[in-house]
A and B are shown apart, each in its own frame.
Chain A
Amino acid sequence: GAVVSQHPSWVICKSGTSVKIECRSLDFQATTMFWYRQFPKQSLMLMATSNEGSKATYEQGVEKDKFLINHASLTLSTLTVTSAHPEDSSFYICSARGVGPGTGGTDTQYFGPGTRLTVL
């Protein structure tokens, strides 16, 4: 089946630094990738939608200059948390939707394992 990886799986950084999280579709072409954020004991909330080769669409309340998204290829999207602060500490999960063997069509999204970000 379709597999999505994320790197790193966890990261601890100092306040004010920037952190880049990668999301890769390993065996299919991801025409669309989604970035979600999940705070403890809460559900996933969509941050932005990323289509290959175009600018990301951000959800209301998500600062595009703080959360930079680059979807440069059909298999890679990156989320950069710039000038991170403790309130940015969260679990960031990407998902991908695309075409290729085993993708099950565009109704199905495949999720990465998530990245735990802790900002000190």
Chain B
Amino acid sequence: SQQGEEDPQALSIQEGENATMNCSYKTSINNLQWYRQNSGRGLVHLILIRSNEREKHSGRLRVTLDTSKKSSSLLITASRAADTASYFCSVGGSQGNLIFGKGTKLSVKP
């Protein structure tokens, strides 16, 4: 399975702190994507990083990709209570679908 696996499963921090989530996958990829899901809602696309990229930024988000270790990390800087959500990494499946990890549940306390 190419399934991405996030670590940690749950993370609780104070507002203003940084949050780091890690993702590992098993096979070669063209790109890796991170999504956010608020409780009971759909997924919001955060960032896509291609296999030939090592780092990508979008606002307070920083994603790194290490294809030699088959791992990626998502860093949220200066977290806010509104960042409370589950975060999923995903890699491409054989049908063009996305294969998701189990997610990291982030709780940011005001």
Q: Is the interface of A mostly helix, strand, loop or mixed?
A: strand
Total cross-chain contacts (CB, 8 A): 54
Contact B97–A34 (Cβ < 8 Å): yes
B67 at interface (Cβ–Cβ under 8 A)?
no
Q: A91-B40, A114-B41, A114-B42 are in contact. Are A107 and B98 (CB under 8 A)?
A: no
Q: By the criterion of a CB under 8 Å from any partner CB, how many residues of chain A are at the interface?
A: 23
Interface residues of A in 76-120 (CB under 8 A from B): 91, 93, 95, 97, 106-114, 116
Q: Which residues of B contact A109 (CB under 8 A)?
A: 45, 97-98
| B window 45-92: CB within 8 A of A | 45, 48, 88
The 5 A-B residue pairs with the shortest CB-CB distance, nearest first, are A113-B42, A111-B43, A49-B95, A43-B100, A111-B42
